[in-house]
Amino acid sequence: MKIGSQYLGNNQCEFRVWAPQRQEVAVHLVSLQERLIPLSKEEQGYWSATVSDVQPGSLYFYQLDTTVDRPDPASSLQPKGVHDASQVVDHQGFVWQDQDWNGLPLEQYAIYELHVGTFTTEGTFTAIIDRLPDLLDLGINAIELMPVAAFPGSRNWGYDGVYLYGVQSSYGGPDGLKTLVNACHQAGIAVILDVVYNHFGPEGNYLWDYGPYFTGKYRTPWGDAVNYDDAYSDPVRNFFIENALYWLEEYHIDALRLDAVHAIYDFSAQPFLQQLGAAVEALDQKLGYTHYLIAESDLNDVRVLQSRETGGWGHHSQWCDDFHHALHSVLTGETSGYYQDFGQVSHLAKAYQEGYVYSGQYSVHRQRSHGNSSLSYPGECFVVCIQNHDQVGNRLAGDRLSTLVGFDRLKLAAAAVLLSPFIPMLFMGEEYGETAPFQYFISHGDPNLVAAVRKGRAEEFKSFGWQKEVPDPQSVEVFEESTLNWELGQQGNHKILRSLHKTLIALRKTHPALASLKKEHTKVIHPTDTSVIILHRHANTSHLYICLNFNSDPITFTPSIPSGVWIKILDSADPQWSGSGQTNPQELSAGKEITLSSWGFVLYTQS
């Protein structure tokens, strides 16, 4: 059931809100002509009315029991902030020009995650459009937007959203987002939107006044859990399912990244996440092409990916944290926090072969056994990266990999991700080695809340042993310091690193062996007592032999390469990539030696 304000045309607007424990509900129009229109009670605690003489742009509240005005929980726009009136939006008034767009196959995605506010100095949707040629030149065909749901102030990661249907006004509001999606589709770029269904932000959250959106049955890091399986949970589920369909239909979003599904507490026979998968599939049948659900899950549980018919949730893919942790710990040597479960090259080798590293064995960090096997699931079921907003921004100083390791390891990181048999994702600026931090920032209006956030951030870093002073998340300077420096991408090694990323992405698109993400089309070899991983990627008659050295010492060895003549197509030691200059043979056959430079890699192909 659709909720919120639905502009019907001809100055007619339907209003519907869920408030099961209220005796009276009215829509209070406060602009153009102030009016108070009572709503009629429907089944399951909904209230609704179709109102005449309501134009797009009209501002309104819902008045509850004649005593209190509150914004619409399903507001499309909060033009004056999270505490003020909601605005009627005519979603049919936007002229789309993406009629020929039918999406991209998930296995072809090359994802670029970005934060709207710091991707450009303007910090708007339309400013992103000016950078699309740069992303296209790089080879990107999917952008992932961090959450855009309305949040307090103008500086936020987006995970403090309180109006999940509302588009942040400082970013450009509904028309700004539609303009960006329209431009992306015309350029051949898919758009993934990060949505948060496990909690609401603490400031501007008036859902408590409407009904039992939350339950005390479970406790989360944010307080009471969203009510997915307690009394009154059906309309709560409807709120979120309609929200997902709203982004896909009204904004032409191609895929949703579901934030931290492990923090959705639901022990019902038909879990919400399973119901969501079914709703999106039904929309696909209606619209004629597939939209994707990509979960962030800390569970290492293939139920996320498993078909609904066999008891799973039926989602298309998930972020694979194990791959990140295995690669990061090998590159940096970090072993604190959750990195204590990683640090060996064998962990990374298993990630390449299976996806999950922890598939039921004991985890020191968790002090229990963790995970199940993902071996039977194809590569498109896993999104992998070496940097993302969490893994950078949740470090004490928001320091990027480029400030932690040298240039050779940055090159190796690019190859490790982009040549993997999974869906690769870059975090904005990673392609040229951005050095500006990506820090945690907020702009809350409640001083007590700001103090609580500052204290919480300091507590969060204790398990990692980081002792420096925590940057003030409320500071404008912290936000401004996190903005990308695009000019870096044209300078020195930054330019070379970007060129390498571009070359690797192009290889991924053009080399048949890299196009197949089937597990059986990748053989992972980890020679005993070495820091070398060899990926033999193949499809039909196309073969690619990828040798990666995760060690500061060069290594000379004789790879167990299949028979035939293999041609070198890329060597990180070449001067073109600012390498050491040591050369491997242009042609390689069984029995010949190669030398991998410090933190180096080489690619050989055979057709």
* Residues linked to residue 397 through DSSP beta bridges, in sequence order: none
* 594-596 vs 555-557, strand pairing mode: antiparallel
Summary count for the chain: helices (H), strands (E): 14, 31
Could you identify the residue written with the tokens 């030691």?
A: 573
Question: What is the number of residues in the chain?
Answer: 607
Span between the terminal Cα atoms of the chain, in Å: 55
Could you identify the residue written with the tokens 């991983």?
A: 533
Residues ≥6 apart with Cβ < 8 Å to 410: 401, 402, 433, 497
Residues ≥6 apart with Cβ < 8 Å to 67: none
Cβ contact 569:604 at 8 Å: yes
Q: Which of 160, 296, 334, 430 is catalytic?
A: 296
Amino acid at 450: V
Residue 370 to residue 49: CA distance in whole angstroms: 51
3-state secondary structure 87-123: ECCCHHHCCCCCCCCCCCCHHHCCEEEECHHHHCCCC
Residue 433 to residue 435: CA distance in whole angstroms: 6
Calculate ∠ Cα 558-563-568, nearest 5°.
65
Residue 358 to residue 149: CA distance in whole angstroms: 34
List, as one string, the DSSP characters of 370-396.
Answer: -----TTS-GGGEEE-S--HHHHHTST
* Residues linked to residue 147 through DSSP beta bridges, in sequence order: none
Helix (H, G, I), strand (E, B) or coil at 184: helix
Catalytic site includes residue 98:
no
Calculate ∠ Cα 552-436-145, nearest 5°.
105
Cβ contact 92:7 at 8 Å: yes
How many CA atoms are closer than 13 Å to the CA of 187, on its beta-carbon side?
A: 24
Q: Is 434 exposed, middle or buried (0-12, 13-18, 19+ CB in 10 A)?
A: buried
Torsions phi, psi for 52 (to 5 deg): -90, 165
Kind plus residue range of the DSSP H or E element containing 322: helix 321-332
Residues ≥6 apart with Cβ < 8 Å to 339: 325, 328, 329
Q: Which of 203, 229, 259, 430 is catalytic?
A: 259
Q: How far is CA 38 from CA 23, 35, 66, 68, 235, in A?
A: 11, 10, 10, 14, 21
Amino acid at 98: D
Catalytic site includes residue 259:
yes
Amino acid at 488: L
Could you identify the residue written with the tokens 């571009």?
A: 502
Q: How far is CA 598 from CA 9, 275, 528, 585, 595, in A?
A: 65, 49, 18, 17, 10
What are the catalytic residues? 259, 296
